[in-house]
Amino acid sequence: MTVEEKITAILEKIRPYIQMHGGDVFLSEVKNDTAILKFEGNCSQCPLLTVTVNRVVKPLIQEEMPEITKVIFE
């Protein structure tokens, strides 16, 4: 499984929760040790997006993939 496939599989675990809030999340690309995510729908304008990324998404990705040290969103 590629790095991209692994991250996408991790995002599939949290996707239902994000979709419940009218949004969605996708992997845009991986550059070196950084996963770049794209949020759509209500999530793209949510003031709590940074909290969601830093407290939920980033720890999940880093737990399974320690080689990813940064998780950012566009």
- pLDDT for residue 44: 82
Write down the pTM of the prediction: 0.88
- pLDDT for residue 74: 84
In this structure, is the dihedral angle defined by the CA atoms of residues 54, 60, 62 and 68, taken in order, positive or negative? negative
Over residues 11-69, the pLDDT tens digits come to 999 999 999 989 999 999 999 999 999 999 988 888 988 998 999 999 999 999 999 99
Alpha helices in the chain (DSSP H): 3-20, 49-52, 58-64
Q: Where in the chain are the domains?
A: 3-73
- pLDDT for residue 30: 97
User: Which CATH number applies to 3-73: 3.30.300.130, 3.30.2010.10, 2.60.120.620, 3.40.50.300?
Assistant: 3.30.300.130
DSSP readout, 22-42?
TEEEEEEEEETTEEEEEEEEG
